[in-house]
Every structure is written in C-alpha cells, then in structure tokens.
Amino acid sequence: MKNVSLFVTDCYGGRGGIAQYNRNLVDALLTIKEISEITIFQRKVVYKLEKFPKKVNLINSIKNSKFYFIFKIFNFLLFGKKQEIVFCCHIHLLPFAWILSLKNNCPLVLLIFGEEAWNPSKYMVSNYFCKKIDHLCSIRHFTAKKFFDWTKIKNKKYTYLPNCIEPKKYLGGIQNKKLIKKYKLKNKKIIISCARLDKEDKFKGIDETIQSLNEIEKSFPNVFYIIIGDGDDKKRLEDKAKFLKVDHLCLFLGKLDEKTKNDLYKIGHVMAMPGSRKTFDRYPFRFVNLEGLASRMHVLCSELIYKLDRRDENIKMVTQVNPNNQKQIIKKLNYLLNKEKKLSPLLKNFYFKNFRKKIEDLYCNLINQ
C-alpha cells in the first residue's frame, strides 16, 4: 500500500475555487486502491472543517499560525510515514514539498492554477525549487506555457488537468418551490453571479452586471439578479445597487450551502462573470461557469486574450464579451436571457470521471517511472 502527500493553501474548510480543486484532487486520489493514506499539509482553514474521508490525515495549524504549521511539517519530516508521491499545490510551499520528496526519494508534482505561476514569485527560494519538480499539472495550457517560459525547464513533463464537476449534483431534479416562494422568484428571468466579494479582488463581473440592470429591465421587466458569496466588498456593492436604483432587482445572499446554491442554479438563466479588472483571470472554465453550464444556464464571461485559450473548442460553451464595453454587456445579456436553456454536449469533457482518469494515469506513470 502507498502513501501520498499534498501541500495546499486551502482544501477542507477552504474558500473559493482552489479549495474546491484540491478537494477534487483528493477525491480522485482516494479512488486509487493502492493508496492507503493521503497526508494533507493545509496552510489555512477559513470555515468550519467539514467531514473528510478516513484515509485523509489532515495536518493544519492552530489558528492558521505559520510557525505552528512549519513546526508540524518538520515533525512529519522526522517521524512521518514513507511517501511515494508528493503533490505541491502552491509554488510558495515548494521548499517544504521538495524536502519531503528528497527524504523519501519520490516524485514531486507541482500543480499551478493562474497568475501565481505566470512569472517568478517574490520568493527566490520558491523560484529555485520550481526547477526541481518532476512533473507539472495545470488547469490551462496557457499557464503551463508561461511557467515553462520563465523556469526554462528542459524536460517538460506536463499533464493538462482542468477544473471538473460531478454532473449528478446539477442535472435533473425538480425546482425548489419553497426557495422560489421565499425569494419571490416565480416567473423571473434570473441572472446569477457567484464569487468571493473581497475589496482586493473587485470588478470580477458583479459591478459590470449591476451597471447593466437599468437597461436590461426595459427589455425584461421580470429580470432579477442574485449574487452569491461573502466578503468585505459586499457593502460597497449593495450601496452601488442602491445608488443606481436597481437594488429592487438585486439579492445578495452571502455564502450558501451547496444544496441551496445548486437549487438556485436550476432556476437561473444566465451565469454572469464579465470581469473587467486588468488582473482578472479570464479563465472561462472556472467552477461557477461549469456549474452554471451543468445547470443548463448560459454563461457570460470576459473575452479571452490569449491564443492558446481561444483555440480550445470547449470555448463554444460560453459567450464572451468585452467587459469594458457596457453596451455590449447589455446586448449579450439581453440575447442570452431570450435564449432557451440547454445542456452543451461539450461539458462532458469536464466531468469528474475524466479528471479522475487523468489522476489515475498520472499516479501509475509516477509510481512506475
């Protein structure tokens, strides 16, 4: 039986897409019968820890203390079980992951997501260990290309590992009539955005959608906009809706449990994430977009900039818009609200079973190399 380790920033009790991705990675590894234990070194916990599988040995710090987290890592280095593979899910954690892989003479796999890997980080030691990895996994080809460009790694061992969803959670099912009644959503044309509402992470599509509501209401008097997510920028967005006199068309619901969120998706018509911030990562297959598509919603997102992204045939699933062109956002939203909801056959490329198969193949290759 084999043991594997993961170094992560977020996972269980985590917040946002990276935490969800890491949980999917753990779930995929758990399906491999040869793995007896997965040790997770988790840097921070945001929410109350949910129940996690028995095979998972979760090592996290008390009150998110960096010192105590490092202490626990070195304690494991001295007394922990032998590891067969070490996965590192953030560049800044690479020095610790490399030491563990060196001690166990086992492969080191780095997983990268977006901007954090496009250029050298501010930590020279992390940049150095980027060149020591045995394999790279990335959710998009563009990010992998940028990473290989600056690290100048010669033996490029790489797996494309995009986000994934479990379709059973979203497909089918009866609309939640209690939810419709509670929020007075009957016969509404519903636009949804779901994101962290953080001051340091503004203009990811919510501002842009709020600004369009006055015009959209002229064509669709029954339009209604639901914003899911929490954070310290929520108050500013609520005030903006009031200032623009569209607060009667908006509902800020904060953080929701998965069932309620999925029930809302089933009655939603458009998932709107047309972020205009210069540093906004325009990755079209973020979890909320895939979840929206799985719920038969249309997805409006920022137009892609990079050629490698535009070549992907799966782009046909989403509608792109210039996020800095308010007239175009209004036009596209009106167009999508008028379209019948349907499920794209391309979505199957992002099902969990395909993600799991890639992880199983990667595991076999690394163990047998």
Q: How does pLDDT run across 167-188, given as a tens digit for each residue?
A: 888 877 678 899 999 999 999 9
Residue 29: both structure tokens together? 């590894």
pLDDT, residue 280, reads: 80
Beta carbons within 10 angstroms of residue 221's beta carbon? 9
Strand partners, 160: 138
The domains found in the chain, sorted by start residue, are 2-164+351-368 (3.40.50.2000), 167-348 (3.40.50.2000)
Tens-digit pLDDT profile for residues 113-134 = 988 899 999 999 999 999 999 9
Q: With a cut of 70, which residues of the chain have pLDDT below it?
A: 173
* Alpha-helix runs per DSSP H in the chain: 17-30, 66-79, 94-104, 124-130, 141-151, 177-182, 206-210, 213-219, 234-243, 258-267, 287-294, 307-310, 326-337, 352-368
pLDDT, residue 174, reads: 75
Regarding beta strands 85-88 and 2-8, do their DSSP bridges make them parallel or antiparallel, or are they unpaired? Answer: parallel
Is residue 156 within 8 Å of residue 148, measured between CB atoms?
yes
- Burial group, residue 99, by CB count within 10 angstroms (0-12, 13-18, 19+): middle
Residue 48: both structure tokens together? 């109350």
pLDDT, residue 52, reads: 85
**Using CA atoms, how far apart are residues 204 and 210, in angstroms rounded to an integer?**
12
Is residue 103 within 8 Å of residue 11, measured between CB atoms?
no
